[in-house]
Amino acid sequence: MHNKIQLQVLSLYRQCLRAAKNRPGVKDHVREEFRSNASLPKLDTIRIEYLMRRGHRQLEQLSKSSVKGIGVFEKTE
């Protein structure tokens, strides 16, 4: 059984995948972003809330019809 925050994260994930449809490379980025944070401890609520707010802002941007793709910054070593 999922708790409330887990259901919210799953809902955001589904919404992001829907918004990423027909946008090259975006779906892979969404999956990677969620996977990279999947191991966060459930008790790290501050970090989870921050990531949820960030995810909602990115979803807003993705939902705009003018957005065709997504830019990603990567760290170089």
Cβ-count burial 57-76 (b if 16+ within 10 Å, e if not)? ebbeebeeeeeeebeeeeee
Q: At what angle do helices 45-63 and 4-20 cross, to 10 degrees?
A: 30
* Tally of domains within the chain: 1
Q: Residue 75 falls within a domain, yes or no?
A: no
Q: Which residue has the higher pLDDT, 24 or 43?
A: 43
pLDDT at 76: 63
pTM of the model: 0.78
* Residue 44 belongs to domain spanning: 4-63
Residue 70 lies in a domain: no
Whether 75 shows a pLDDT value over 80: the answer reads: no
Find the farthest-apart pair of alpha carbons in the chain and give their distance in angstroms, rounded. Answer: 40
- 73 domain-assigned: no
pLDDT digit string, tens, across residues 35-74:
999 999 988 989 999 999 999 999 998 888 665 555 555 5
